[in-house]
Amino acid sequence: MGTDLEAIALAARQALAYVAGADERAVAPSPEAVAGLGRLGGPLPDGPRPASETIELLAEVGGRATVASTGPRYFGFVTGATHPAALGAAFLSSAWDQNAALPVMSPVAAALHEVTRRWLADILGLGPGTEVAYVTGATMANAACVAAARDALLAARGWDVQRDGLFGAPPVQVVIGDAAHVTLRKSLGLVGLGRERVVVVPADDQGRLRPDALPDLDPADGPVLCCAQAGEVNTGAFDPFGPIHRWVSDRGGWLHVDGAFGLWALADPARRHLVAGLEHADSLATDAHKWLNVTYDCGIALLQRPGALSDTFSARAGYLPPAGAFEAMHHTPQSSQRARQIEVWAVLRTLGRSGVADLVRNACECAILIAARLRTGGLEVLNDVELNQVLVRHGDGPRTERLIAAVQRDGRIWCGPTLWRGETAMRISVSSWKTMPADAEHAADVILACAAAQDRPRGGG
């Protein structure tokens, strides 16, 4: 049986049409389009059929039931779009079907791993020896980092976690901020450190960990692992890394930073002051599928303690000499893996240093613009807009909920709710490379029009 090139060509044409139309279509799919997904179901077919028929159906029915987050007007969660360089590279890397587990399985993946490792360390201002591992997202990047931290901290106390597990081990003292991302606790739970068995440090009104509230932990009671945050998921605020790092290093501990989107502030020289002290972190986690605008799923673990990843994730005996080249399967939780570095390479090479800085700066400027317009229009902006996040309230929580529902029904833009200080707020995240100041103006227009319609008395003359 030959390769069905027509099915692939059809998919490529449909993909191009989708991308070309993403700017114009409603951001959320219609209820009819979602109901139409039933056509993809039914019983498992009894036998084969042409691949092109399957692709046709998928493109038609599935494409309509997508959320157009790859366009310029999606402001929900913290969700990047896909840069053309990333999508093109994704087409190629899918066609190549490379397994990035070992260099012998994919020389191109191995080469681009090393190139992106150097480029990421450079653009983020980390040490030239920084180790990089690609995983599925920031949740797994956090998990990989805290697993490496756990093992290194306990190895220094004579305990081999990989051999003996955590039963009977000295207790690791885990410290997180009160506004840590919910998935950080999931990552801690996953590696056996516990979601609730943490010391929670109070945060300030922007969600920044308060260094004056760091507890007086004694390292004699167990090694200290502190997880700080670059980019609070509602406000975009950064923890004060300088004082946190001093507190950690006084205790001989490990400083990890969750920077799922905020870490990219490091790429913009104008925003470096927000992240002062971050360069001392032992490990950092970020996403490329958010602000770097590659396709899902791409998270990155960055370690400034060489060897820590392989001590945890090596699938060989520890007494063997290290391999000559980087072997992804011995540095990540996965064995077989997609070559995520191909898209990261494509975006970094296409944008260059100044292009990535512009990507960050433009999104921040759009967020500032939206905040200013909404404030002028009578809405309450709840955060200091220093990054790409805007938190807004229209009167109280219930009124804000109605506004969010109206904006979502309107369909021209999309943003969602969050709970801020116990009450609903509207959260606007600018994370798409495509969002330009005109789109930001448009978003403000839509939100203000929905708010005005809400305030207008119904019925009457």
Ligand X SMILES: *Cc1c(COP(=O)(O)O)cnc(C)c1O
What is the binding site for ligand X (CB under 6 A)?
78, 137-139, 181, 183, 231, 233, 258, 260-261, 287, 299
Which of 214, 206, 140 is closest to 175 using CA atoms? 214
Q: Which is nearer to ligand X, 138 or 403 (CB)?
A: 138
Point out which residues pair with 224 in neighbouring strands: 173
Query: Who contacts 279 (Cβ-Cβ below 8 Å, separation ≥6)?
Result: 125, 126, 127
Which of 387, 440, 88, 403 is closest to 208 using CA atoms? 387
- What count of other Cβ atoms lies within 10 Å of the Cβ of residue 453? 12
CB of 285 to ligand X, least distance (A): 7
Residue 298, both tokens: 């791409």
CB of 173 to ligand X, least distance (A): 22
Q: Which is nearer to ligand X, 131 or 258 (CB)?
A: 258
Single-letter residue type at 203: A
CB of 140 to ligand X, least distance (A): 6
Query: Who contacts 37 (Cβ-Cβ below 8 Å, separation ≥6)?
Result: 61, 62, 65
Q: Which is nearer to ligand X, 277 or 299 (CB)?
A: 299
CB of 367 to ligand X, least distance (A): 15
Q: How far is CA 349 from CA 73, 86, 120, 283, 358, in A?
A: 26, 10, 11, 25, 14
Residue 326, both tokens: 């980087």
Q: Which is nearer to ligand X, 186 or 402 (CB)?
A: 186
CB of 240 to ligand X, least distance (A): 16
CB of 180 to ligand X, least distance (A): 8
CB of 419 to ligand X, least distance (A): 15
CA angle 237, 239, 241 (to 5 degrees): 140
CA distance 64 to 103: 39
CA distance 228 to 248: 11
Q: Which is nearer to ligand X, 143 or 161 (CB)?
A: 143
- 3-state SS class at 26: coil
CA distance 181 to 68: 25
Q: Which residue is nearest to ligand X (CB)?
A: 137
Residue 282, both tokens: 């032992």
Q: Which is nearer to ligand X, 278 or 448 (CB)?
A: 278
Which of 148, 149, 151, 140 is closest to 260 using CA atoms? 140
CB of 184 to ligand X, least distance (A): 6
Q: Which is nearer to ligand X, 146 or 260 (CB)?
A: 260
DSSP string, 188-204: HHHTTS-SSSSEEEPB-
CB of 213 to ligand X, least distance (A): 20
CB of 297 to ligand X, least distance (A): 7
Q: Which is nearer to ligand X, 78 or 342 (CB)?
A: 78
- What count of other Cβ atoms lies within 10 Å of the Cβ of residue 242? 13
Which of 240, 227, 40 is closest to 149 using CA atoms? 227
CA distance 73 to 134: 28
- 3-state SS class at 216: coil
Residue 247, both tokens: 């507190």
